[in-house]
């Protein structure tokens, strides 16, 4: 776990691992999408602009969804809602927000909507793969406790440690998994910084009875899943991208929905959902959205496959603005 990669000398500004991986993912995805757009004879500059707008709107949407579903964490600390650099983004919330904005933007610019969404679907999976590496470095999106050989252990003060040392009513857990003594907390009930612990306390939470329990490396699973889906979608796009625009996007929904649903069963961080809109009562928000993604993908795929195949969609206005 390395939430901070390094600190810029003299400025005392730390470079966060999660944000860095998001930037790396965006740059690599942008490079790939530019090549894809050139392949179909489109202006590659447009897709970079669209991707940038999608990234910004997606971050805002992901943060809003996270705050809504974890609002108890921000009670009395309203300004922390804007502290995105501290972590706390809900990926599917960002996707829904970004898609809504993209539909409006592509319509407004009179760009070939299905073609752009297909290319962005591939780029999205590439960006997600790097984003999940950032999750691993940040310590968020952790898995359930496990004694399997692949399990990993996060340090004292990590999100996994916080989760295991407290009851979690949002996940129907009435007791903490680690009975951490009261002297590890300050007068206000916050966990003491690692630097303030005594040698005995530090030993107890490092290798002793209060160490963080090993968990499944769900961030790595999610990374592999995203890269695998990116490869499958890219191959599909190469084969029928020109003649069947919209199919690649539809297949992304059909593939990512169930894989995300399964990965959620391995995680131990997201709260269970009982809202009226939830199809799967007692599942997480992401599991329910995953179900909606499958339904949406099936509807879109059925519609696009009934359309007459075309050679290539040409935008009405392909001049750089």
Same domain flag for 53 and 198 = no
> In angstroms, rounded to a whole number, what is the distance separating the alpha carbons of residues 79 and 74?
8
176: domain range? 159-206
Cα dihedral sign for 117, 119, 125, 131? Answer: negative
133 in any annotated domain: yes
Same domain flag for 163 and 266 = no
Environment class of 179 (CB within 10 Å of its CB; exposed 0-12, middle 13-18, buried 19+):
exposed
8 in any annotated domain: yes
Each residue's pLDDT expressed in tens, for the chain with a length of 321 residues: 787 777 777 767 777 888 889 889 989 999 999 999 998 888 888 888 888 888 788 778 777 777 776 666 666 665 566 655 555 666 667 777 887 888 888 888 888 899 999 999 999 999 999 999 999 999 999 999 999 999 999 999 999 999 999 999 989 999 999 999 999 999 888 899 999 999 999 999 999 999 999 999 999 999 999 999 999 999 999 999 888 999 999 999 999 999 999 999 999 998 898 888 889 998 998 899 899 999 999 999 999 998 887 765 444 555 444
How high is the pLDDT of residue 85? 52
How high is the pLDDT of residue 9? 75
Give how many domains the chain has, as a whole number.
Answer: 2
């Amino acid at each position: 776990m390395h939430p901070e990669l390094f600190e810029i000398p003299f400025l005392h500004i730390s470079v966060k691992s999660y944000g860095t991986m998001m930037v790396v993912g965006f740059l690599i995805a942008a490079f790939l999408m530019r090549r894809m757009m050139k392949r179909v004879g489109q202006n590659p500059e447009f897709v970079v602009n669209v991707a940038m707008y999608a990234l910004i709107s997606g971050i805002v949407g992901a943060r809003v969804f996270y705050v809504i579903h974890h609002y108890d964490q921000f009670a009395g600390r309203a300004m922390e809602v804007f502290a995105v650099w501290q972590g706390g983004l809900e990926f599917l919330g960002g996707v829904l927000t970004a898609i809504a904005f993209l539909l409006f933007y592509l319509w407004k610019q009179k760009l070939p909507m299905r073609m752009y969404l297909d290319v962005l679907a591939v780029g999205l999976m590439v960006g997600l793969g790097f984003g999940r590496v950032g999750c691993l470095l940040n310590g968020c999106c952790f898995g359930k406790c496990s004694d399997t050989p692949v399990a990993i252990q996060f340090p004292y003060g990590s999100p996994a440690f916080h989760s295991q040392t407290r009851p979690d009513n949002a996940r129907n857990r009435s007791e903490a998994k680690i009975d951490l003594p009261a002297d590890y907390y300050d007068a206000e009930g916050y966990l003491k910084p690692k630097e303030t612990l005594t040698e005995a306390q530090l030993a107890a939470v490092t290798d002793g009875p209060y160490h963080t329990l090993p968990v499944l490396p769900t961030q790595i699973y999610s990374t592999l899943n995203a890269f695998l889906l990116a490869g499958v979608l890219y191959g599909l796009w190469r084969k029928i991208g020109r003649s069947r625009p919209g199919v690649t996007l539809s297949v992304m929904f059909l593939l990512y929905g169930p894989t995300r649903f399964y990965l959620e069963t391995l995680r131990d961080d997201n709260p269970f959902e009982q809202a009226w809109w939830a199809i799967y009562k007692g599942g997480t928000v992401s599991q329910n959205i995953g179900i909606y993604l499958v339904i949406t993908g099936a509807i879109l795929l059925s519609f696009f496959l009934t359309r007459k195949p075309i050679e290539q969609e040409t935008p009405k206005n392909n001049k750089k603005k």
